[in-house]
Amino acid sequence: MTFSWTQHRFSGGALALDVANSVILRFDAERRIDRYADPVAMSDFAAAANRFSAEKELFGTLEPVALENRNAFLDLREATDRHFRAGVMGASTGDDLADLLDAASVIIRRHPVKSQRTPLDAATARSALMLATFAEPERLKICPNCQWLFLDRSRNRSRTWCDMTVCGNRAKANRHYQRQKREWTA
């Protein structure tokens, strides 16, 4: 199956959330897809983030995660998802935050700050730490369709979907289908 990183895959609004969202259908064991299970897809993510990430201006040009750092990067991805998902659901614990801080510190210690080129794992760690100190945590949300994490940057904090053109349209189409179905069976 061919896969490409499109703009939709970067609808989290923060690099750390886009990385966390690289697991599709995270809570469906039978249909779950880890996009980073393919090493090529993991490497290609950095180039796509340079084009599509909402934080692309913050970290300079992103480079792929070095092979020897990939396990730590995956640990950071999982800690990011656990911490922010728990926060949105009102179930955050000190352990989730500690795990995120531990995972981020492992990566940050490996990478000095560079001005032009930044490894994806270092940028993701910094993005996660910025989100952990975000002044408006209520702007973090979970898409009701795909369950991705996203940052609601809308003025009135009313964004519901990670991406209106994908998840929002699917939900609208499903509601329309259900209305039509009720009318046909009535």
Residue with tokens 């270092």: 122
Q: Evaluate if pTM is beyond 0.75.
A: yes
Instruction: Give the whole-angstrom CA distance, residue 62 versus residue 71.
Output: 18
Tell me phi and psi for residue 63, to 5 degrees: -110, 155
The pLDDT score that the predictor gives to residue 180 is 67
The helix (H) or strand (E) run that includes residue 142 is strand 140-142
The pLDDT score that the predictor gives to residue 182 is 66
Amino acid at 143: C
**Strand bridging mode 117-119 / 61-63:** parallel
* Model pLDDT for residues 8-51, shown as the tens digit of each residue: 899 999 999 999 999 999 999 999 999 999 999 999 999 999 99
pLDDT, the chain, mean: 90
Instruction: Kindly give the pairing relationship between strand 140-142 and strand 149-151.
Output: antiparallel
Greatest Cα pair distance, the chain, in angstroms, is: 66
- Give the burial class of 10: count Cβ atoms within 10 A of its Cβ; 0-12 exposed, 13-18 middle, 19 or more buried: buried
Relative to beta strand 33-34, strand 117-119 is unpaired
Give the model confidence (pLDDT) of 159-179 as tens digits. Answer: 888 887 778 666 566 665 566
Q: Which tops the pLDDT comparison, 184 or 73? A: 73
- When mean pLDDT is compared across 2-16, 65-79, 111-125, the lowest value belongs to 111-125
Distance CA 169, CA 157 (A): 19
* CB-CB contact of 3 with 41 (8 Å): yes
